[in-house]
Structure formats: structure tokens, C-alpha cells
A and B are shown apart, each in its own frame.
Chain A
Amino acid sequence: MKMSGAQMVCEAIIAEGVKTVFGYPGGAIMNVYDEIYKQNAFRHILTRHEQAAVHAADGYARATGEVGVAMVTSGPGFTNAVTGLATAYMDSIPLVVISGQVPLSLIGTDGFQEIDAVGISRPCTKHNYLVRSLEDLPRILKEAFYIARSGRPGPVLVDIPKDITGEMGEFHYPNKVDLPTYKPRYKGNDRQIKKAVEAIVNAKKPLLYIGGGAVLSDAYELIRELANVGQIPAVETLMARGVMGAENPLFIGMLGMHGSYAANMAMSETDLIISLGARFDDRVTGKLSEFARYADIIHIDIDPANIGKLVDVDYPIVGDVKTVVEKMLSMLREKVDPDRYQVWREILARYDELHPLLYNDCDDVIKPQWVIERIGELVGEEAIITSDVGQHQMWAAQFYPFDRPRQWINSGGLGTMGFGFPAALGAKMGHPEKTVINITGDGSILMNVQELVTAAENELPVINVILNNHFLGMVRQWQTFFYDKRYSETDLSYQPNWKMLAEACGGVGYDVTTKEEFDTALKSAIEGGKVTFINVAVDRFENVLPMVPAGGALYNMLLEHKDQCDG
């Protein structure tokens, strides 16, 4: 069938089953927006900033497991989208971002709104394309979706010059891709898996180390079973929160810089790490030479480049976590003796008793951790929780009773402030039936606050809980610990009127200073069905603990909450 390049873009989006596109129009992408106007097979959400469009597509992808799609124009439209691409890239989130480009004849002339999009995005996309002829467009779109979702997922950029979207040509959307240079491996090597199973059977202190790959591969049921069959304790990274479930006795905690004492000690004392889609990030390992000194390592990862990148691995297994764990289980079932690890489980239980994850609650001022726990009590496993980046993010990861993967959505790798709100909009589009709460700070929320308008216009009743300490809290915490309390540019005492700000954009705002007020506000927000700010005044100087100072050994944690009620 003959159609324009712009129509081809829409047809490909429809053929891929995409129901929602997030974006922002502009000169170079107008042909495509003209076609969007004419169709109703998918919905377009107009965000109020291109960065938010990509984060929203990202939140949609994380919540649903499907490819998220965003659309932007050339030049500044594209450069605004770069933070979104990098965020998705670091967390391996499948996205297809379509950007307009100046016409082919103008490329390289410093034309109006021209920027080298493929050049800029090369290090922060899984792959990218500059479409050079209409003939290539259907194939490239097909490949983009395939590459985004297959193997280790990631964002793919398709940059399309304006004359190509305006040109007419023959459209055949390919059924499959033909990429001889790209063959992701899903099935692990059987011999290696067998060796790994032997290692588990012979270990005394095995530990499941669960990362974001477990979420991406939807492996949580099998991982819970693996833990259960061997009664093997498990720790989760920031990206894997929820995989083991809130009440699972084998779940030791989150590990890393702000991990629990028991989880970090488990990692420091284990004799066999079973790494499931984790990548030994520096925020997890602390000082590498002191990391897990007694452990052999089984490393299961779909990306071979993750294996052996930072630590030497004894049992490398390249493959999809779900597929490999399934195979492991079939071999492990008869061989493993859960009693063998009894002493190990008792040791970890003692560590947890010694220094449980705690905070000193207080009646004079709301503790931020209390807010997280309270949200957990009130909406629990039902809600989807997104977050921005900073102290509130860590408290959410520590204290929220995450019970399933894809319930927790945050920017772990890049650490992008301003991610949470637009990601929440995307998650809400993906799961309209669920309550979606963005846990944020008074710093982060302002870095995409314009999305109040998007939320109000599209009736997306996302609830933003602002843990307001009038500080750029995490940086302030480092200044307290490591910079002799010189609070350089972190005091955010000058604040907007949050309630009025939300209301001005068509939302609802609550200012909260007591626990009772918080309960009332959250309940009203859930019932109210409007985008909401709940501005919670919390203890200004509360710190995220435990804390492994950057570059320190994982087992050397700052533990005590010395600051008492000072409200």
C-alpha cells in the first residue's frame, strides 16, 4: 500500500500493539503529528516537556513490561529527551523514541533546530538510527521495536528527517527482522548450569543476589521457588525490590550503600553468590577489594559484558534469568538439602536482630520513614510506587512493603531527579485501575512539576507525596557526614506554596504536619480522583541509615540514628 513516511510511523506503532504514545510536537515531526490527528488506534499524551514524555514512556514500560513509545521534534525537542534516554538505558528499559530531524538536504548545514541526534544519543541508547531513505523506514521501525525489547532491553532512537515523513512510498511492515549481527542468547549453557547447581549443593552459605534483570525477565515466581526449594536466603538490589515479596522469611533485605545490616553482612560472609540479573554496581559492592571475600560467584546475566566486568566470576552463565533459573530448578530439586543452610539462616537472623532496619519514631515531627510505612499500611501491595532520587527514594526502598516486581519504579542507574512524576503518569496509563503514588522530595518534584498540567488534563490522578525537609536531603546528608556541615546550596527553605501550585494546575494540594493529617490527606487523595500533592513536613535532619560511605567496605556501615526528636 502506498502511504507517506508519517503514515508508516503510525502504522508501525499500531502494528506493534502500542496503545499509548507520549510526546510533544514541533516543526520537524509535524508530518507525523498530522497523521496522529487523523487516527484513533492509539492515544497520544501531550506532556509539557520532552524529558517528561520519555520518562512517562519509561514508567509505562516498567509498569507493563511492554515497549514504551515517545515522540519528539528535532533540536531542543531531542536534546530534552536525552536525559530520558539515558535513564532508560542505565536501567535497561525497552523504549522506542522517534525524533524528527531537519530534511536530508539540510543535515550538516547547522539548520534551524538541527542537532546530531544519533551522535548525541549513541552512548545512551542500545541502538539508534538516522533514516536516510523512505525505503528503509519500515524495516528500521521493525528492528527498533525488536532491539528495544529483546536480549538486554534498552531504548532505541529512530531519527527521521522531515522530508522522509512527507514522502510517499510503498509500505510493507516486515513480519520478522533479519539481523545477522544481533542474536541474543536466552538459554544458558547446560554444562555451566550443572556446575552451578553442584556449587549450590556443596555451599554452606549460599546467597541469592537479585537484580533488576529478574524484574525485566519476569522471573519472580521462579526465583521465589528457587529460594524456597533450597531455603536459600536472598538479598535484593534497589532495582529488584519486591521480587521476593514483603513477608518472605528468606528475604534478608536490600543491600548496598543504604542496605540493611543483615543484607550487607550476608553479602560479606556468603561463600556462594548466586547473582540473578544483577551487575555488581558500585553502590552495591562498596570497596571492591573487600567485597564478598569468601564467595565463589555464579553470575547469570543476559549481557555477557556484565559478567567479569567488576568481579571475577567462577560460574559465568550467559542467558535470560527466567530461562536459566527454570533449568536450575529442575536440576536442583532432588539434590539440594535445605537443612544444610540452617546455620547460615540462623546467623543472618541474628544479624537482623542485632541491627534491624529501624528509625526513631516521634510525636513532635513526622519522620519520613513513618510516611513510607504508613503508605504501605494503607495501600500496600495494591499501589504502584514510583520515586524520584534522593533520601525519599532510599527510605521508600527500605521501608515500603513491596510485594511484587513492577510495583516499584525508580531511576536506579542514572539517578534522575524529576523521573518519578512523569513515570507515575506512564504507569497510570499502563494500569489505570491501580493507585499510583510518586514518593518524592521537595528538590526532585520541581524538576518536572509542569506535568501537573498533563495529569490534570488527562485525568491521571497520580498522588505525589512530597517528603519535605526543606533540603536537598541526600546531598545535605553527605555534607553533614563528609563536609563538616557546610550546607552549600542545599537549603531549600524558599519554597512554593505547594497546595496553591497543585491547584493552579487543576490538581489538589494538602499541607500536612501531623500523622492524622497525613492519613486524611492520603485517603482523600485516593478517593478524590485528581492529581494530588501531599506536602508532608518531615524531620529536616533525618539521615538515611545504614550507610556505607562511598568507597568503603560493605561491612563498615554507619548504623545509629543518633538524632532524636528535634522538631
Chain B
Amino acid sequence: MDKVRRVISVIVANEAQVLARVSGLFAGRGYNIDSLTVAPIPGSNFSHMTIVTRGNRRVIEQIVKQLHKLIPTYKVIEHEEMVEKEMVLIKFSIESPIAEIQALCQAYNGSIVNAGPDMFIAMAADEAGRIAHFIEAVERYHPMEIVRSGVVAMER
């Protein structure tokens, strides 16, 4: 069976241990995590986790069911029609061609967000695949540091 990439949202009670329960489930059952993000849902007692994973059909089905089986899990959404965004922060030396990098940033929903005496930081927010392209594109400017946020997604 072919492996596919899946973005899964998990709505969980915002309580102690819940992240450990989810990440432990993936570790214990040998599932992949490409990225995992979590933050509270405003105005509720729940948190929203977005997990990007990979596996064949049976594995993905098990992931969804096993996530659902956790007692604090309220809802599991296997995304199909979604808006998916990831953010990346990239630090460059101040010597780098800032105008070129800024132009690239704009193509990927981004901008220069900070600058200091020795460096400046560029940001882009886009689909995970496009973020990968962006990182590729700026590689020739020898970035000093790259931080990706992981994916967040919302069903349309």
C-alpha cells in the first residue's frame, strides 16, 4: 500500500498530559510525525493539535481511530479540503542581499520582520510544500538559522 501524507486535526481537552498522550501514541505504535503543533482554542477548554503524518491507508485509519480512543480527545478531523499554512523564520547575515531576499519573501507571503547590527530575519507563511520551496530558494544566501513552525490547518 502506498504511503500518503495526511494532515489531521485533533481537538482535545486542554489538560495536563494530553500532548504526552498524543505523542506517546505515535511513538509507541510506530507512526510518523512530520510536524505537530498545539495551542488552546480561544474561549474554550479545548486545544487544537495539527499533526502532519505519513502512512498507508490502514495506518492512517488506525492513527485516526487510536487518537479518537484517547479519553481527552473530543474530535479528530482527517483533512481533505483544507487551508494549510506553515511559517518559517530565517536568519541571514547583514551582508546578504536584503532586497533580493525581500522580493523572494513577498512571493511566499512573507517579509523581513527584524534586523540588527549583524543579521536580519525573514519570515514566510504559506503551504508546507511552498515553504520547502522557499527554503530551497534562499539556500544560496547561506542562511544562519532556520525555524519552521509546523503546519496548522483548517477545513474549508
Q: Count contacts on A: residues with CB < 8 A to the other chain.
A: 19
**Bound Cα distance from A179 to B12, whole angstroms:** 12
Interface residues of A in 62-121 (CB under 8 A from B): 118-119
The 0/1 profile, CB within 8 Å of A marked 1, for residues 64-78 of chain B is 011011011110000
In the complex, are the beta carbons of B24 and A181 less than 8 A apart?
no
B13 within 8 A of A: yes
Other-chain residue from B13, B20, B58 in contact with A119 (beta carbon distance below 8 A): B20
Q: Chain B residues near A180 (CB, 8 Å)?
A: 74
Choose, from A7-15, A186-194, A304-312, A337-345, the stretch at the interface. A304-312
**Bound Cα distance from A305 to B71, whole angstroms:** 14
Interface residues of B in 46-66 (CB under 8 A from A): 58, 61-62, 65-66
Q: Chain A residues near B74 (CB, 8 Å)?
A: 180-181
With A181-B12, A308-B58 already in contact, the answer to whether A147 and B69 are too (CB < 8 A) is no
With A119-B20, A130-B16 already in contact, the answer to whether A181 and B65 are too (CB < 8 A) is no
**Bound Cα distance from A238 to B17, whole angstroms:** 35
Interface residues of B in 69-106 (CB under 8 A from A): 69, 71-74
In the complex, are the beta carbons of B17 and A118 less than 8 A apart?
yes
**Bound Cα distance from A308 to B58, whole angstroms:** 7
**Bound Cα distance from A130 to B68, whole angstroms:** 21
With A123-B24, A123-B28, A181-B12 already in contact, the answer to whether A309 and B62 are too (CB < 8 A) is yes
In the complex, are the beta carbons of A147 and B71 less than 8 A apart?
yes
Q: Which residue of A lies closest to B12 (CB)?
A: A181
Other-chain residue from B13, B58, B61 in contact with A181 (beta carbon distance below 8 A): B13
**Bound Cα distance from A24 to B16, whole angstroms:** 28
**Bound Cα distance from A179 to B72, whole angstroms:** 8
In the complex, are the beta carbons of B69 and A308 less than 8 A apart?
no
| Consensus secondary structure, chain B interface | helix
B5 within 8 A of A: no
**Bound Cα distance from A127 to B66, whole angstroms:** 13
Q: Which residue of B lies closest to A151 (CB)?
A: B69
**Bound Cα distance from A180 to B21, whole angstroms:** 18
The CB with the most chain B CB atoms within 10 A, among A119, A181, A309, is that of A181
With A305-B65, A309-B62 already in contact, the answer to whether A127 and B71 are too (CB < 8 A) is yes
With A130-B17, A304-B65, A308-B61 already in contact, the answer to whether A179 and B24 are too (CB < 8 A) is no
Q: How far is the CB of B38 from chain A (nearest CB, A)?
A: 16
Q: How far is the CB of B117 from chain A (nearest CB, A)?
A: 40
Q: Count contacts on B: residues with CB < 8 A to the other chain.
A: 19
Q: Which residue of B lies closest to A182 (CB)?
A: B71
A132 within 8 A of B: yes
**Bound Cα distance from A126 to B71, whole angstroms:** 8
In the complex, are the beta carbons of B62 and A305 less than 8 A apart?
yes
**Bound Cα distance from A126 to B72, whole angstroms:** 11
**Bound Cα distance from A128 to B12, whole angstroms:** 16
Q: Which residue of A lies closest to B28 (CB)?
A: A123
**Bound Cα distance from A304 to B13, whole angstroms:** 21
In the complex, are the beta carbons of B20 and A122 less than 8 A apart?
yes
Q: Chain B residues near A122 (CB, 8 Å)?
A: 17, 20-21, 24
Interface residues of A in 280-334 (CB under 8 A from B): 303-305, 308-309
Q: Chain B residues near A126 (CB, 8 Å)?
A: 71
The CB with the most chain A CB atoms within 10 A, among B58, B62, B69, is that of B69
Q: How far is the CB of B61 from chain A (nearest CB, A)?
A: 6
**Bound Cα distance from A555 to B117, whole angstroms:** 75
**Bound Cα distance from A431 to B17, whole angstroms:** 38
Q: How far is the CB of B43 from chain A (nearest CB, A)?
A: 16
**Bound Cα distance from A275 to B68, whole angstroms:** 22
Q: Chain B residues near A123 (CB, 8 Å)?
A: 24, 28
**Bound Cα distance from A181 to B17, whole angstroms:** 15
Q: Which residue of A lies closest to B62 (CB)?
A: A309
Q: How far is the CB of B98 from chain A (nearest CB, A)?
A: 45
Interface residues of A in 191-231 (CB under 8 A from B): none
**Bound Cα distance from A181 to B20, whole angstroms:** 17
The 0/1 profile, CB within 8 Å of B marked 1, for residues 245-284 of chain A is 0000000000000000000000000000000000000000
Interface residues of A in 113-167 (CB under 8 A from B): 118-119, 122-123, 126-128, 130, 132, 147
Q: Besides A181-B12, A181-B73, A305-B68, 18 other CB < 8 A contacts?
A: A119-B20, A122-B20, A126-B71, A127-B71, A130-B16, A130-B17, A132-B16, A147-B71, A179-B71, A180-B74, A181-B72, A182-B71, A305-B65, A305-B66, A305-B69, A308-B58, A308-B62, A309-B65
Footprint of B on A, CB under 8 Å? 118-119, 122-123, 126-128, 130, 132, 147, 179-182, 303-305, 308-309
23 contacts between A and B (CB under 8 A): A122-B17, A122-B20, A122-B21, A122-B24, A123-B24, A123-B28, A126-B71, A127-B71, A130-B16, A132-B16, A180-B74, A181-B12, A181-B13, A181-B71, A181-B73, A181-B74, A304-B65, A304-B68, A304-B69, A305-B62, A305-B65, A305-B69, A309-B65
8 tightest A-B CB contacts, nearest first: A305-B65, A127-B71, A181-B74, A123-B28, A182-B71, A304-B65, A305-B69, A122-B24
